[in-house]
Amino acid sequence: MIEILPDIDFKKELKKSSGSSLSECMQCGTCSAVCSLAPDDRPFPRKEMIWAAWGLKDKLAANPDLWLCHQCGDCSTYCPRDVKPADVLSSVRQIIYKQNARPAFMGKLLSKPALLPIAILIPVIIISIILLLAGTLSIPEGPVNYSKFFPHAWLNGSFSVITLLVYGMATIGFVKFYHSIKSGFPEAKPKMSLFKSMIQVKIEVLRHSKFTDCENKKSRTIAHFLLFYGFLLLLLVTLYAIVAVIIEAYPMALTDPFKIIGNIASLMLIVGLGIFIYNRLFNKSTLGNSNYSDWLLLISIFLLTLSGIVVQFARFGDWNLAYHLYFFHLVCVWFVIIYLPYTKFAHMVYRFIALSFANRIGRK
Amino acid sequence: MEKKTGVYICSGCEIGNCIDVEKICKLAAEEFKVADAVIHPALCSVEGYDLILENIEKNKLDSVLIAACSPRVKTDVFDFPENILLERVNFREQIAWCYEPNDEDTQMAAEDYLRMGITKVINTQIPQPYLAENLSSDILVVGGGITGVTASLEGAKAGYKIHLIEKDEQLGGRANELYKMYPCKKPFTKFHEPFLDDLADELKTYENVTVYTSTQIQKISGEPGNFDVELINGSTKKIKVGSIVAAMGWKPYDANKLSHLGYGKSDKVITIQEFEKRVKENPNLKLPEKVLFIQCAGSRDEKHLPYCSNYCCSTSLKQSQYIRDLSPDSSVFIVYKDIRTQGLAEEFYKEVQKDDQVFFTKGEIDEVLVENENLNVKVKETLLGEDISLSVDLIILATGMIPNGTEDLNLNYRLGKGLPELKYNFSDSHFICFPYETRRTGIYAAGTLRAPMDIAASRSDAAGAMFKAIQCIEATKRGEAVHPRSGDKSYPELYMDRCTDCKRCTEECPFGVYDETEKGTPLPNPARCRRCGICLGSCPERIISFSDYSINSVSAMIKVVEIPDEFEEKPRILAFVCENDAYPAIDMAGTKRLKYSPYVRIIPVRCLGSVNKVWISDALSCGYDGILQIGCKPGDDYQCHFIHGSELTETRGENIQETLQSMMLEPERILTKFVEITDYHKIPEIINNYAETIEEIGPNPFKDM
């Protein structure tokens, strides 16, 4: 039994960000019926649509179902009233990134287009300060060697520390999120340990099995698959690179197996991103409206990958602008990696938490 | 009178390949000595038709028998001068398309059908219409609400003189209670002012409309074309009308029965009618912050009104906007079973949905708690995934409509003062086949009297009923039946010398055709008749007949069929088949080339209720082995075109079983089956199963007696 207290401002905000006239939903349930991922018991997204239309913010915040959705867009395609449940769910998820952001101002910083210049200035200033402290804030002479510009120890050290610091604070928000979805199911009995559930979900994520359940968008599955594994491979290569700095000659040659893997992974990212961007630009009818956070994520990863590749060429080609490009690349790294808990990229964490919880209580 | 009949046999559409048409032609000429007998490869062609016309001239024929396709088809082609009696034998759908070609049994069936056809021609006459004198073309409209006023306008525009009766001082009825009307045209955001005044003004521009306010009906007697109406308004006034539109409207369901929804427990729980009144009286009413509408309050509920009243959803939506307009900070909650906004009201619903502060959910009201000044409502079965609790300042119950009674018509009919009712007290009018038609011919129900509906629907209903009333006047002038036997000029004629005043006809006629004297002698009002023949079926003295459908004509058809003796092992089954649904179903079985037993002989009847017991005993004593009756489905959601004709086979069944007993025959010799028009696929099964039953019980011992 819930006491109904509509939050009309929340409803209006949601209406604006999703671009969906959610009150025009006639509650027929076509969306839930066509969804291939909705659980049998209290399926989404109809109840979420009604919560949204009723301005029930807390119900939405404590809802793991939002994260079971893989946004294939079937609900929006089949809606007889042209309401866009997929967009509404996506908007709610963004509100949740913002709401659970710790420190809270980071959520605001990365959800408002007007604050983008500040979001860019922060890494520019901080990286400049680090360089200043390292005493290398100038363009080195001779053949391009990035470590002369940003010594590896300083780079790896500072970025690791900042990342850990940010992730540490963000974790407070993640834990809060876990507790809030748990409170949404007070009567639920766990069917397995959280650890076991997380392992199962991890396997599911690695296999992209939920994506393949969303039948109608093959290109999306492929794109996400490429992006996911491209990113994973690059992460491994980067970690290796940090170690490599210590144990072998750095920078690596272009023929080094790790370099080859890294470049293949970059290519995977470019192709995957290309599909995503194409779909967002030209398949609006099925994918729904794209908003700021969709584009922020896509463009920042795209620029990160592209600048990574360019920076590499700049090194081999001894370009004049190599160090400037390298600086830009580092800002991109900041955007994607350090801002992760506050951008749409955080979906990997929230989704993982929600799926692990849902899997644990057997909600399928 | 000896008839001069021409028999025309078509050999087209596979008929010629299936039966020996030469032999049939010879049979007509030799056995019946008809004046003319011709075979033609396509009677429906121009040449075929011209040939018949020429032969009518040449042989001075007075009757024509066409043995070709079903009498249900090509009626426009086989159209002859009015003085020619036309009969058709169904050689195509019921012989050529459903029986083995060139088979002995098929040939026998064709010959029997021809015999029956010619026999019918010999025993029937061209109907002479019942034409009463001094017929009135005026139309009485009872009820001056939106429906009645609209009906009057429509009638006046069509040039008929209208008498509009309203019991209140002014016209308007329930529409007078409205503050605004919800939009029924673009843009769906603007309310209409109640347009009743406009309608009343428009009505005044027609000189052929007489409005009687504060007037009631003391008595209505007579028949279509000749209704005598006594009006009372202080003094009595008599008028004569040809037909009547009853638009007596509705009243809201009694909210006192809804205490489980809090009604009566707090003055903050009101109905939509009460709310409308409050806003109408004070359009600047101060309204509370949170208002809950409970839809289907006492509707779609077995304990109250089991049906949907159609207007309440749209009305609540309208009132939600009164509230939102009057206090912009308010929130309106609507808990519904289903939002049912019919027709264009759906567009209005979409507009209301755009309002961010109107909240909808499907749900069942679990509990309404009234504590001090607070209202708290628990709702279960919601679409929010769990039960909810709402604290509100005002609850508005969307109560349904119940029809006003029609006793006020004060019909001077043997069968009662009002119109017969079917489900839920709405005046009976078949919702699909014949809306507006009541069981009182010439009296048409319109608007909420016959079904729950909103203003838009009532207005189109009013037009429909008015046109039915006009049709009735015109048909009556021509001496023709109205729907469903439109255009039929025959009518029941009673040979009163033999009447025993048993009252069967007066009781069984569904349409109240027969009034009666104190002694119980029937007084027929032929213009009230729908020509179903139920009275003919009911009469034990067999005194009721139609000129083209009588005890004698059917008896003769039964008797003319050749019954093979029992050693030939060719049983005969006589099938009385209702013309309305069963006969078309059998035709459709033929069209689909479904095969069934050739031992059956089909006689179409106007209604199963018109089957007289004597036909059954005739058939049994002639040696038929079994009798099958196929008609429409009886019951509450009846399909019978004459309301309870097929039902009568059950009540009369006992009598018939007595007949069987007295003849020492098995009860299985008679079987009644009900089909719908779409049940054609069941026809072979029904006929074949019965043929098997008959083979099991063996031949009728009366054969050859």
> Could you give the ipTM of this predicted complex?
0.84
B356 part of contact set with chain A, CB < 8 Å: yes
Q: Rounded to whole angstroms, what are the CA distances from A204 to A200, A214, A352, A356, B493?
A: 6, 14, 10, 10, 86
If one compares A350 and B415, the residue with the highest pLDDT of the two is A350
> In this structure, what is the dihedral angle of CA atoms B313, B319, B325, B327, given to the nearest 10 degrees?
-110
Is the pLDDT confidence value at B227 over 80?
Answer: yes
**Whole-number pLDDT of residue B478:** 96
What pLDDT band is residue A115 in, cutting at 50, 70 and 90? very high
Chain A closest-CA separation from residue B379 CA (Å): 9
* Residue in A closest to B390 by C-alpha: A4
What pLDDT band is residue B598 in, cutting at 50, 70 and 90? very high
Record: contact A6-B362, CB cut-off 8 A: no
What pLDDT band is residue B394 in, cutting at 50, 70 and 90? very high
Q: For the segment B321-363, what is each residue's pLDDT rounded down to a tens digit?
A: 999 999 999 999 999 999 999 889 999 999 999 999 999 999 9
* Residue in B closest to A14 by C-alpha: B356
Mutation target among A4, A12, A16, A30 for the B interface, most CBs of B within 10 A = A4
Record: contact A27-B378, CB cut-off 8 A: no
First to last CA, chain B: 31
B333 part of contact set with chain A, CB < 8 Å: yes
B367 part of contact set with chain A, CB < 8 Å: no
What's the rounded mean pLDDT across residues B46-56? Answer: 96
Q: For the segment B150-208, what is each residue's pLDDT rounded down to a tens digit?
A: 999 999 999 999 999 999 999 999 999 999 999 888 888 888 888 778 888 999 999 99
CA–CA separation, A333 and A340 (whole Å): 10
Helices (H) and strands (E) in chain B, counts: 17, 30
Longest CA–CA separation in chain A, Å:
72
Q: Report DSSP state, residue A135.
A: T
Phi, psi of A305, rounded to the nearest 5 degrees: -65, -50
What's the rounded mean pLDDT across residues B244-262? Answer: 96
Mutation target among B188, B290, B334, B353 for the A interface, most CBs of A within 10 A = B353
Q: For the segment B275-307, what is each residue's pLDDT rounded down to a tens digit?
A: 999 999 998 888 889 999 999 999 999 999 999
CA–CA separation, B547 and B130 (whole Å): 12
Is the pLDDT confidence value at A147 over 90?
Answer: no
Record: contact A27-B331, CB cut-off 8 A: no
User: Chain A partners of B389 at a C-beta cutoff of 8 Å?
Assistant: 1-4
Chain A closest-CA separation from residue B350 CA (Å): 7
Record: contact B356-A15, CB cut-off 8 A: yes
Q: For the segment A151-186, what is each residue's pLDDT rounded down to a tens digit?
A: 888 998 999 999 999 999 999 999 999 999 998 888
* Residue in B closest to A10 by C-alpha: B356
Is the pLDDT confidence value at A287 over 70?
Answer: no
* Residue in B closest to A5 by C-alpha: B390
Mutation target among A14, A27, A46, A65 for the B interface, most CBs of B within 10 A = A27
What's the rounded mean pLDDT across residues A45-56? Answer: 93
Is the pLDDT confidence value at A5 over 70?
Answer: yes
Residues in chain A: 364
Record: contact B388-A21, CB cut-off 8 A: no
What is the architecture of the domain spanning A8-99?
Orthogonal Bundle (1.10)
What's the rounded mean pLDDT across residues B518-536? Answer: 94
Chain A closest-CA separation from residue B188 CA (Å): 15
Instruction: Point out the residue among A24, A29, A50 whose CB comes nearest to the CB of B350.
Output: A24
User: What does pLDDT average to over chain B?
Assistant: 93
Task: For chain A, give the percent of residues with pLDDT over 70.
Answer: 97
CA–CA separation, B195 and B172 (whole Å): 10
B97 part of contact set with chain A, CB < 8 Å: no
Instruction: Point out the residue among A4, A11, A53 whose CB comes nearest to the CB of B389.
Output: A4
Q: Give A237-244 contacts, CB < 8 A, sequence gap 24+.
A: A237/A261, A237/A262, A237/A265, A242/A156
* Residue in A closest to B329 by C-alpha: A8
CA–CA separation, A69 and B130 (whole Å): 75
Instruction: Point out the residue among A1, A25, A46 whose CB comes nearest to the CB of B387.
Output: A1
Of A62, A27, A20, nearest in space to A45 by CA = A27
* Angle in degrees, CA A45, A46, A49, rounded to 5: 85
CA–CA separation, B405 and B400 (whole Å): 16
Record: contact A53-B359, CB cut-off 8 A: yes
The CATH fold of domain B253-400: FAD/NAD(P)-binding domain (3.50.50)
Is the pLDDT confidence value at A18 over 90?
Answer: no
Instruction: Write down the domain spans for chain B.
Output: 1-128, 139-249+404-477, 253-400, 493-530, 563-705
A-to-B residue pairs, Cβ atoms closer than 8 angstroms: 64
Record: contact B359-A1, CB cut-off 8 A: no
| Amino acid identity at A97 | Y
Strands B235-241 and B388-392: unpaired
What pLDDT band is residue A253 in, cutting at 50, 70 and 90? confident
User: Chain B partners of A2 at a C-beta cutoff of 8 Å?
Assistant: 384, 386-389
CA–CA separation, A152 and B216 (whole Å): 104
Is the pLDDT confidence value at B77 over 80?
Answer: yes
Q: Which helix (H) or strand (E) holds B248?
A: none
**Whole-number pLDDT of residue B1:** 60
What pLDDT band is residue A289 in, cutting at 50, 70 and 90? confident
Chain B closest-CA separation from residue A129 CA (Å): 49
* Angle in degrees, CA B651, B655, B660, rounded to 5: 130
B window 589-618, beta carbon within 8 A of A: none
How far from chain centre, in Å, is Cα B102? 42
Record: contact B384-A54, CB cut-off 8 A: yes
Per CATH, is B139-249+404-477 categorized as 3.50.50.60?
A: yes
Record: contact A51-B333, CB cut-off 8 A: no
Is the pLDDT confidence value at B566 over 70?
Answer: yes
Residues in chain B: 705
Is the pLDDT confidence value at B51 over 90?
Answer: yes
Of A171, A126, A170, A168, nearest in space to A150 by CA = A126
CA–CA separation, B694 and B345 (whole Å): 58
Of B262, B215, B261, nearest in space to B239 by CA = B215
The CATH fold of domain B563-705: Rossmann fold (3.40.50)
Contacts of B215 (CB under 8 A, 6+ apart): B165, B166, B167, B231, B232, B233
Residues of A with CB under 8 A from a CB of B: 1-4, 6, 8, 11-12, 15, 21, 23-27, 29, 42, 46-47, 50-51, 53-54, 56, 59, 81
Record: contact A23-B378, CB cut-off 8 A: no
Record: contact B353-A12, CB cut-off 8 A: no
**Whole-number pLDDT of residue B705:** 67
**Whole-number pLDDT of residue B633:** 86
Chain A closest-CA separation from residue B309 CA (Å): 20
What pLDDT band is residue A244 in, cutting at 50, 70 and 90? confident
Starting at the edge strand that comes first in sequence, how are the strands of the sheet with B235-241 ordered?
B216-223, B226-233, B235-241
**Whole-number pLDDT of residue A286:** 64
Per CATH, is B1-128 categorized as 3.30.160.110?
A: no
CA–CA separation, A163 and A160 (whole Å): 5
User: Chain B partners of A24 at a C-beta cutoff of 8 Å?
Assistant: 350, 353-354
Chain A closest-CA separation from residue B333 CA (Å): 9
Q: Rounded to whole angstroms, what are the CA distances from B433 to A110, B429, B436, B673?
A: 66, 9, 10, 21
Mutation target among B383, B387, B392 for the A interface, most CBs of A within 10 A = B383
Residue written as token pair 């500040």: A118
Q: B179 and B126 in contact (C-beta within 8 Å)? A: no
Q: Report DSSP state, residue B288.
A: -
CA–CA separation, A111 and A117 (whole Å): 12
**DSSP character string of A286-302:** HH----HHHHHHHHHHH
Q: Report DSSP state, residue A86.
A: H
Q: For the segment B438-460, what is each residue's pLDDT rounded down to a tens digit?
A: 999 999 999 999 999 999 999 99
Record: contact B389-A1, CB cut-off 8 A: yes
Strands B522-524 and B514-516: antiparallel
Tokens of A234: 């690059």
**DSSP character string of B484-553:** TSTT-----EE-GGG-----HHHHH-TT--EEE-TT--EEE-GGG-----HHHHH-TT--EEBTTB-HHH
B327 part of contact set with chain A, CB < 8 Å: no
Contacts of B30 (CB under 8 A, 6+ apart): none
User: What does pLDDT average to over chain A?
Assistant: 89
**Whole-number pLDDT of residue A226:** 94
Task: Provide the CATH number for the domain formed by A104-360 in this structure.
Answer: 1.20.950
Instruction: Write down the domain spans for chain A.
Output: 8-99, 104-360
User: Chain A partners of B378 at a C-beta cutoff of 8 Å?
Assistant: 1
CA–CA separation, B511 and B509 (whole Å): 5
User: Chain A partners of B362 at a C-beta cutoff of 8 Å?
Assistant: 27
CA–CA separation, B641 and B580 (whole Å): 7
Of A300, A277, A292, nearest in space to A113 by CA = A292
**Whole-number pLDDT of residue A246:** 76
Q: Rounded to whole angstroms, what are the CA distances from B326 to A103, B79, B190, B270, B287?
A: 43, 68, 15, 18, 7
Hey, do B1-128 and B563-705 end up sharing a CATH topology, with the first three levels equal?
yes
Q: B475 and B482 in contact (C-beta within 8 Å)? A: yes
**Three-state DSSP class for residue B56:** helix
Record: contact B357-A8, CB cut-off 8 A: yes
B102 part of contact set with chain A, CB < 8 Å: no
CA–CA separation, A29 and B338 (whole Å): 13
| Amino acid identity at A347 | H
User: Chain B partners of A82 at a C-beta cutoff of 8 Å?
Assistant: none
Chain B closest-CA separation from residue A25 CA (Å): 8
| Amino acid identity at B682 | K
Chain A closest-CA separation from residue B631 CA (Å): 41
Record: contact B386-A1, CB cut-off 8 A: yes
